[in-house]
Amino acid sequence: MKNNSSKKIISVLAVFAMFFVGVWLVMSLFPATTESPKYNQFLQQVEQGQVSSVYISGNYDMEVVLTDGTKYQINIPSRSQASNDILEAIESAKATNPNYDITMDFDKPDQGSIFDYIFPLLMIGLAIMLVVMLFKKIGQQNNQNINFGKSKARVNENVKVRFSDVAGAEEEKEELKEIIDFLKAPQKFNELGARIPRGVLLVGPPGTGKTLFAKAVAGEAGVPFFSISGSDFVEMFVGVGASRVRDLFDQAKRNMPCIVFIDEIDAVGRQRGAGLGGGHDEREQ
């Protein structure tokens, strides 16, 4: 439950982060260039020769002084655009008044705070991280699809359980010791013409120590222990269970000698045609 809740929180944060990154990218790539009516009126006043001087402070503020001494402040799109617009307006004004000119003073441009430099880098880094996480998640999903028919067996190559950890059941221990001898020295039995058992069926109600017995055999023999539940072989798609069985025994062959323990094996087999409907069931494979 904790993993699911943490994944939901991460997903929500990722959505919000992607939203803010998208807004920032749109604002950065497509800045607002709409000129205010006041700025357009100022340019008309320049063309009519009514402006005496301008003083641009910062990056977006300008103080205007008219020929009659009136002063006012306006916002400009940018220093460079305002300079170009003023020069073009002066050229238009010189058509009627060749001696017309404007005194233009500039303050040092606003360099901005360190946050103005760090924020874009953080946004770019966050965008890259989200893209990497997205591709990683897609890759994991693809791996899950590829490994859908692979065995889900858990492997323990160093089993520390021994018969001394199993209380009672002395008769069962004696019978299983022969299996341990087969696993430890199979050549000795092959020379005598004996055939190694294909498997052992442990029968009993839940909680009687069947899994512990199987681990104890692997621990006493010093062989890897493959553990899987019979329900892992049953899927909605027919053929997946058979594929997992083949993959399980392929792994066992690569690690032999070993023990393959299938818990609740009765979940796998069933009588053919026992299901409802005309289709076949995964258990019939």
Q: Give pLDDT tens digits for 189-199.
A: 777 787 777 78
Closest CA to 238 of 196, 207, 275: 275
Indicate whether 178 and 82 sit together in one domain: no
Indicate whether 203 and 246 sit together in one domain: yes
| Domain ranges, residue 51 | 37-106
**SS3 assignment for 3-32:** HHHHHHHHHHHHHHHHHHHHHHHHHHHCCC
For residue 269, pLDDT beyond 50? yes
Indicate whether 142 and 253 sit together in one domain: no
User: Mean per-residue pLDDT for 62-84?
Assistant: 87
Indicate whether 260 and 271 sit together in one domain: yes
pLDDT at 100: 87
Q: Count of domains in the chain?
A: 3
- Among candidate residues 51, 83, 106, the one where a domain is terminated: 106
Q: 91 or 107, which is more confident?
A: 91
Q: Please give the backbone phi and psi of residue 106, each rounded to the nearest 5 degrees, phi first.
A: -125, 135
For residue 33, pLDDT beyond 50? no
For residue 1, pLDDT beyond 50? no
pLDDT tens figures, 112-151 = 556 666 777 777 777 787 777 777 776 666 555 555 556 6
Indicate whether 182 and 142 sit together in one domain: no
Closest CA to 130 of 45, 15, 215, 232: 15
How far, in Å, CA of 109 to CA of 277, rounded? Answer: 80
> Which pairs count as long-range contacts for 236-245, CB under 8 Å and 24+ apart, including other chains?
236/282, 237/282, 238/280, 238/281, 238/282, 238/285, 239/149, 239/282, 239/285, 240/148, 240/149, 240/282, 241/268, 241/282, 241/283, 241/285, 242/285, 243/149, 243/150, 244/149, 244/150, 244/151, 244/152, 245/151
CATH number at residue 278: 3.40.50.300
Closest CA to 67 of 46, 38, 89: 46
Give percent above pLDDT 70 in the chain: 69
- Among the listed ranges 16-20, 207-211, 238-242, 261-265, which one has the minimum average pLDDT value? 238-242
90 Ramachandran zone, left/alpha/beta (phi>0; psi -120 to 50): alpha
Indicate whether 179 and 229 sit together in one domain: yes
Indicate whether 127 and 102 sit together in one domain: no
Report the range out of 16-30, 202-216, 255-269 with the highest average pLDDT.
202-216
- What is the Cα 189 distance to its own chain's centre? 53
Indicate whether 20 and 135 sit together in one domain: yes
Average model confidence (pLDDT) for the chain? 76
Place of tokens 């539940």: 229
pLDDT at 84: 87
The answer to whether the peptide bond before residue 257 is cis (omega within 30 degrees of 0) is yes
Indicate whether 166 and 279 sit together in one domain: yes
pLDDT at 275: 52
User: Mean per-residue pLDDT for 77-106?
Assistant: 85
Q: 228 or 53, which is more confident?
A: 53
Residue 58: pLDDT band with limits 50, 70, 90: confident
Q: 49 or 269, which is more confident?
A: 49
Q: 66 or 106, which is more confident?
A: 66
CATH number at residue 76: 3.30.720.210
Find out whether 229 and 264 touch, Cβ atoms under 8 Å: yes
Indicate whether 239 and 186 sit together in one domain: yes
How far, in Å, CA of 45 to CA of 61, rounded? Answer: 18
pLDDT at 258: 85
Indicate whether 190 and 263 sit together in one domain: yes
For residue 180, pLDDT beyond 70? yes
Place of tokens 């029968």: 203
Indicate whether 21 and 57 sit together in one domain: no
How far, in Å, CA of 274 to CA of 284, rounded? Answer: 9
